[in-house]
Amino acid sequence: MIRKASKSPAPPVVLCGHVARTRVRHGTGSEHIAVVLRTDEGEELILQRIGANPFEDPEGEKLVGHRVTVEGYRLGNVFRYRSAR
């Protein structure tokens, strides 16, 4: 009998930084203006609220210009968050 290893979901990550609006994915068909988190470590990650439209989210727009702490999951250069404070 072969058993598959159960894969537990990764625990959420907490990041802090400043939220801005900037052009992302330059030179591709997906180029657009997005809400991004500029972390204290100098990274720039596209912020997407879990369950929201990734291209237009009024709740995410409210974070622009503020320093926030977000909790969620990192997928490459995208941070899918479930809470921001």
How much is the pLDDT for 36?
A: 97
- Local structure of 65: helix, strand or coil: coil
Rg from Cα positions in the chain: 15
| Separation of first and last alpha carbons in the chain | 48
Q: Which CATH architecture has domain 13-84?
A: Beta Barrel (2.40)
Structure tokens at 78: 């995208």
4 pLDDT exceeds 80? no
Q: How much is the pLDDT for 6?
A: 58
Burial status of residue 52 (CB atoms within 10 A of its CB: 0-12, 13-18, 19 or more): middle
Domain residue limits, the chain: 13-84
Chain mean position to CA 20: 12
In this prediction, residue 84 has a pLDDT band, given cuts at 50, 70 and 90, of very high
